[in-house]
Amino acid sequence: MRSETRRLRLRMALHAGELLLDKHGVTGSSVNFVFRLLDAAPLKHALAGSDGGLALVVSDWFYEEVVRRAERVELASYRPVHVSIKETEADAWVHIPGNAVPG
């Protein structure tokens, strides 16, 4: 019997854009972009450096159009990051629920 405790840690990405449906499922540049946000080093580092079990990354577009306009969002809990992965260079925002300013 194992005595070590394991925790589930999740990464979540939010973006909006056009999706295409083909015979293989949902495709499009927006889908690729979200997967690259999920795999970005700043998000992984933020989650690894926190006690939380969830790390959220939102595209700069989603932050400006949705997060900033939301009434009950603590904007100080989002940290701007730069994502550089594969062919993607983009600005995004990282949020660790429960942390005032993610590390």
Structure confidence at residue 47 (pLDDT): 85
Comparing 41 with 7, the larger pLDDT belongs to 41
Max CA-CA distance within the chain? Answer: 50
Q: Tell whether the model's pLDDT for residue 101 goes beyond 70.
A: no
> Sign (positive/negative) of CA torsion 59, 61, 64, 65?
negative
Report pTM: 0.80
Report the pLDDT averaged over residues 60-82.
94
Averaged pLDDT score across all residues of the chain: 86
Structure confidence at residue 97 (pLDDT): 87
Q: Which amino acid is at 91?
A: D
Find, among 6, 5, 9, 8, the residue nearest to 43 by Cα.
Answer: 9
Structure confidence at residue 79 (pLDDT): 94
